[in-house]
Chains A and B, each alone.
Chain A
């Protein structure tokens, strides 16, 4: 008896001290927003794997100084734009230094210290390296031939009519689509992203943000402001672009400065430059956090300083206010939020850029010596990514397995409920689908399930109702006829 008791105590102790809470071991709390825009805590979808700076890779080339951009090419090499040191450092994911680009061969001659405050980098599939060289007022195109960096061409300030006299070509970010069009975000250019053709000729502005202009503003300007006041008031102009990335379909994701924090901060521009970003929930704007403190450290609305297009229509945006990464799917659902600001391992201090390789995410932190933080999906995040991938490819029925596992992990995750509902809808179980879609607050698909169910019910019952109606009508008509005949006979008699 005593032995049994001791055994029981030991078993209980073993259960009590076993590390059940391993998954919760992140320095930040994951969350998402439900249909009504209320914050719902969730497990962490991504966990920090490691963080490294140049001192971990190759101490002899010195630390980063205010790095500004991060880019991964198709071979998995990571390009870090080291703004303060006027160079671009190329590493691979195994943390080996590939090369340092701070000069190039031009017409056979070596050019030392060729860059002056480079700000952005992009590498095409043909391995052409585009660098936005801000204070040299140019975008320079390089190529690595036999492990030596060679100059190909450069895009200089466009010399066209219509530009202001004091126009300064200060490129910040550069991007090339599959057609060879070059898109450049230029500092203090409000007209849009400048686009150039493959030959480097300016072809126009791209993706201009429409000016929002309220009637109140207009009336105020017309009736209550003097000429002098209007002259001194801030001009009503479109907002500046901040960053951009291109997805595999050639659509360009951009973030821009959003003054009122009421509209989306992310745009998805089609090749004609029109915003085609989708969001079906008007209660949650693609704007990061829906509520925030007004004062104190890390207060104010989210500011998306970089955006990255990810697989299967997903995109992630990096917030510089709180250092969080917001990931949305192609329908505008906020999938997960992770990361944060702080000095713990896995947190950022001065986030600047975001990049993705496979499903992993890399954040460039410009604080101090500069470092890169590597996040990898947790079990929870991996399930979401897989389920979204299945849905995006049209395999709603196969996605249900992942959604069911997600509901087990986190039953507050509305997207999982609506995912199960959608798969039931695809399988033809309209009543069950309605129940699950109601839990997931997926009004669009609920409506579809409801309409199909209504049709089914009507098809089942209406024939019976009509049959009974026809029988009654026939009986009534027969009764009338009989009575008329009878009364006719009586008249005759």
Chain B
């Protein structure tokens, strides 16, 4: 019993030893992402943990940020829907970036891209929750501090994603920017194809269903 407890405690400690890498990436992005990919220090566990932490902190922000910065309508507020949006955006971005960069001599695999985006989320997580707490001590005139903190987090996140893609694909800055621009076009193409597919499926369904009704009434 005691041994098992010690073992699991050791496992938890091990887990958090891994979490030092995302924090290290915040300070030394290029070294950190290099270690993540080429020294194989990055794990998908940490990636998923970061995504879950982001979703939770987003929900906390929805729920507990003060009325002044967050005038949400309680009748329409749905954190679950926000979660779906975030996860969809994440998957779409990773897939479209992967499909673009694999044509542009990018060295990163889908796993690397996913890991670099999720490892870059740490500053978001580290700013959203403190900003939410801070917002409950701010009046309307001081709300700028809240928005400043939030936008610092977002800007840092974007910067880290950029660094991560540069390292993971072994690109120069210009090529990385070009690949990101192409990524957004690929994203639009994917969304378009999904919409097309859905509408075709719907037409197919209607076709089959009308044949079925024809047969039933014959």
Contact call A454/B71, Cβ cutoff below 8 A: no
Smallest CB separation, B63 vs chain A (Å):
15
* Contacts A36-B73, A38-B73 given; does A443 touch B139 at CB 8 Å: no
Contact call B71/A35, Cβ cutoff below 8 A: yes
Contact call A443/B71, Cβ cutoff below 8 A: yes
Contact call B68/A446, Cβ cutoff below 8 A: yes
Residues of B near A454 (CB, < 8 A) are 137, 139
Taking residues whose C-beta sits less than 8 angstroms from the other chain, chain A's interface range is 10 to 19
Contact call B137/A443, Cβ cutoff below 8 A: no
Residues of B near A441 (CB, < 8 A) are 67, 71
Smallest CB separation, B76 vs chain A (Å):
8
Please give me the residue from chain A that is nearest to B140 by CB atom: A447
Residues of B near A447 (CB, < 8 A) are 68, 139-141
8 Å CB contact of A443 from B67, B75, B76: B67
Smallest CB separation, B211 vs chain A (Å):
33
Q: Bits for B152-176, please: 1 = Cβ < 8 Å to A, else 0.
A: 0000000000000000000000000
Per DSSP, are chain A's interface residues mostly helix, strand or loop, or mixed?
helix
- State in angstroms the CA–CA spacing of A447 and B139 once bound together: 5
Please give me the residue from chain B that is nearest to A34 by CB atom: B73
Contact call A450/B71, Cβ cutoff below 8 A: no
* Contacts A438-B67, A443-B67, A443-B68 given; does A450 touch B73 at CB 8 Å: no
- State in angstroms the CA–CA spacing of A450 and B142 once bound together: 12
- State in angstroms the CA–CA spacing of A448 and B142 once bound together: 12
Contact call A443/B140, Cβ cutoff below 8 A: yes
Residues of A near B73 (CB, < 8 A) are 35-36, 38
- State in angstroms the CA–CA spacing of A35 and B139 once bound together: 19
Contact call B140/A444, Cβ cutoff below 8 A: yes
Please give me the residue from chain B that is nearest to A36 by CB atom: B73
- State in angstroms the CA–CA spacing of A29 and B73 once bound together: 24
Smallest CB separation, B195 vs chain A (Å):
22
- State in angstroms the CA–CA spacing of A444 and B139 once bound together: 9
Residues of A near B139 (CB, < 8 A) are 447-448, 450-451, 454
Q: Bits for A129-155, please: 1 = Cβ < 8 Å to B, else 0.
A: 000000000000000000000000000
Q: List 23 A-B contacts (CB under 8 A).
A: A35-B71, A35-B73, A36-B71, A36-B73, A36-B76, A38-B75, A441-B71, A443-B67, A443-B68, A443-B71, A443-B140, A444-B140, A446-B67, A447-B139, A447-B140, A447-B141, A448-B139, A450-B66, A450-B68, A450-B139, A451-B139, A454-B137, A454-B139
**Contacts from A to B (Cβ < 8 Å):** 35-36, 38, 438, 441, 443-444, 446-448, 450-451, 454
Add 17 more A-B contacts to A36-B73, A450-B68 (CB < 8 A).
A35-B71, A36-B71, A36-B76, A38-B73, A38-B75, A441-B71, A443-B71, A443-B140, A444-B140, A446-B68, A447-B68, A447-B139, A447-B140, A448-B139, A450-B66, A450-B139, A451-B139
